[in-house]
A and B are shown apart, each in its own frame.
Chain A
Amino acid sequence: MDAKLKQESPPDLARKEGMRLLARASSDELNAAWEALADKPDISPVRGPETGLVMVRGRIGGGGDAFNLGEATVSRATIRLSTGEIGHGQLLGTDKQRARLAAIFDALFQREADRAAVQALHRAIASRIEAEDRRTAEETAATRVDFFTMVRGDD
């Protein structure tokens, strides 16, 4: 895993992070970003959108060798912009339209002229997820047990 990470060049990491966020995007977020695009690109489908399964793996003991835990539904799409960029969208669930939009924004991210708009979408998704995670962490923290020791009477 570490070796693989090292092979990735910096632009790949930015794209990878963008794809992570697009996979978590809601329909509303993707549709709003699409509506906001001044210049709608010409898109041709390469693959999908389609729904299938990914076998999710775990590790024995949490960090040991891998085993197959069970499957999850995944929807994916690959598209090509008229300017040649290829975009991939893949996310958990059966929402093929979300996968297609994620693929479009992945392709637009590679186009200099549209990158800023896609980055704005990335930031919006990231800050929503961060706020949700923060809220969950705070709610969990409130259920933390504070132990106290009863003082024994020594005399």
Chain B
Amino acid sequence: MYVAVKGGEAAIANAHRLLADRRRGDRTLPSITIQQVVEQLGLAVDRVMAEASLYDRELAALAVRQARGDMIEAIFILRAYRTTLPRFGYSEPVDTATMKVERRVSATYKDLPGGQLLGPTFDYTHRLLDPSLIDDAAVEQPAVKEPGEHVMRVSDILDGEGLIEGDGRMPEGHVMGDLTREPMEFPMARDLRLQALARGDEGFLLALAYSTQRGYGRTHPFVGEVRIGEVEVELDLPELGFAVSLGVIRVTECQMVNQFMGSAKQPPQFTRGYGLVFGQSERKAMSMSLVDRALRTDEFSEDIVAPAQDQEFVISHADNVQATGFVEHLKLPHYVDFQAELDLVRRMRRDYDAARAGSQDGMKEAAE
């Protein structure tokens, strides 16, 4: 029998009131402002924008604050917000070659046009806790130098010898997909996979990327280039007949270069994996590029032998909003389901006990 139950309104209201209190914390301390989150927890803001798949620093900071720093909750809130807004259109593709570069490193070429620009990196720090931050010690102004030449893309340098695959092309006649408009279907084309990976969970993609390095679908990677900086976003205005700039966004791009032994169809060469992520997040961009390359098994006639190469497995589980929804729903009331299962287990147990008792009787009889 199905019994509908209601209740808990007062408990829920009070729980949310308590949540608001705990979020605010000690009232004798000043409340943290959105601009402080944007300025001082910028990489948390970037992660929320990337995985919510919505570029807006202020709203992402608000989400971080509202979620008490719970990143996936913040991502969930921002993802939900975007569903309330109308879609104005699709931008022109951003041009990362003209990026205002704030960091660019290459692990394949030491001396390359534009040089190795470390930018604001955690690399080469000693990862020691810094007690001076407790007392809010004054911070030095950054050093400055005369800027050098244009920061050339590494893939353009490698292209000269014909030993590296070109930028990715989709098959003739392919219509670009949009995950936010059509349900997922497998096999999924590379453009859609990249959209899914760009908003995929950083931890999940990091683990998969790591698994390819440890031998689960080896890809022999080198970082051709990682670059971070601002690119212009342009939108075509039909009423004017030309595209206009809407402003700039900061993105992180990774060009992963992978050794490839060649196949019946293709000569030995370097192949590529691509990562592009909102904000400053090279861990995510690098992971994305490794997973992108691992998933291109059909293009290189590679056998699928590892999880990172299985597109249905990877893409279906990369979205942390979906994942948390399904995992966390388990804590919501399942009283009726459980009663039904309890009843079933009781019956099975009765049958089991009866069968055991019967066979013991049978054995006793056989012994006599």
| Residues of A in contact with B (beta carbons under 8 Å apart) | 1, 4, 7-8, 12, 15-16, 19-20, 23-24, 50-74, 76, 78, 88, 90-94, 133-145, 147
Contacts and interface: CB of A to CB of B under 8 A. Distances in A.
A54 B147 contact: no
B269 to A, nearest CB: 14
Interface stretch (B1-9, B63-71, B109-117, B215-223): B109-117
A138 B101 CA distance: 11
A109 to B, nearest CB: 13
Interface of A is mostly: mixed
13 contacts: A16-B242, A52-B87, A61-B168, A62-B96, A66-B191, A69-B251, A70-B55, A70-B198, A73-B54, A73-B56, A93-B56, A136-B100, A143-B117
Interface string B166-193: 1111100010111110000000001110
A145 B96 CA distance: 22
Interface in B183-229: 190-192, 194-195, 198-199
A60 to B, nearest CB: 3
Nearest to B225: A62
A90 B245 CA distance: 8
A78 B274 CA distance: 38
A58 B93 contact: yes
A27 B295 CA distance: 45
Interface string B228-261: 0000110101011111111111010101000000
Contacts of A58: 93-94, 96, 194, 198, 251, 276
Contacts, number: 238
Contacts of B232: 20
Contacts of A144: 115-118, 145, 148
A64 B237 contact: no
Interface string B5-16: 000000000000
A71 B253 contact: no
Contacts of B274: 60-62
Q: Range of interface residues on chain B?
A: 35 or more
Interface in B97-156: 97, 100-103, 110-111, 115-121, 142-148, 153, 155
Interface in B322-345: none
B145 A142 contact: yes
Contacts of A139: 142-144
A93 B58 contact: yes
B84 to A, nearest CB: 10
Contacts of B366: none
B302 interface: no
B278 A69 contact: yes
Interface string B77-95: 0000010011111111111
Contacts of A88: 237, 239-240, 244
